[in-house]
């Protein structure tokens, strides 16, 4: 599905849905570009990904679809659990 031009938030969610493990925001940005989820990414897509996730977590709190796992690493709140190996499901 190349060149979809999703919102940053939706593009991040699409990448994290397929992630087996939490991802670093730079890797999320790389995947958005590789998959063509944004037609224009600007000069600093990794910074935009980081900012989008941080704003979502800070403003939406528990309603944010994202959860911070460790510095720079994020996952989807509803799909990630340290107790479930999603590769087997």
pLDDT tens digits along 5-59: 899 999 999 999 999 999 999 999 999 999 999 999 999 999 999 999 999 999 9
> 82: buried, middle or exposed (CB in 10 Å: 19+, 13-18, 0-12)?
exposed
- 23 membership: H or E segment, kind and range: strand 23-24
DSSP conformation class of 65: S
Distance of CA 28 to the CA centre of its chain: 6
83 versus 27: the higher-pLDDT residue is 27
pTM value is: 0.83
List the domain boundaries for the chain. Answer: 8-79
- Topology (CATH level 3) of domain 8-79: Arc Repressor Mutant, subunit A (1.10.10)
Give the number of C-alpha atoms closer than 13 A to the C-alpha of residue 57, restricted to the C-beta side: 16
pLDDT, tens only, 59-77: 999 899 999 999 999 999 8
């Amino acid at each position: 599905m190349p060149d979809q031009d999703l919102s940053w938030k939706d593009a991040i969610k699409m990448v994290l849905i397929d992630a087996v493990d939490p991802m670093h925001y730079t890797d999320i940005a790389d995947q958005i570009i590789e998959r063509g989820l944004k037609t224009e990414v600007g000069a600093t897509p990794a910074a935009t990904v980081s900012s989008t996730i941080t704003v979502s977590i800070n403003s939406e709190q528990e309603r944010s679809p994202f959860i911070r796992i460790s510095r720079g690493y994020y996952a989807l709140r509803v799909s990630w659990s340290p107790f479930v190996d999603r590769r087997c499901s």
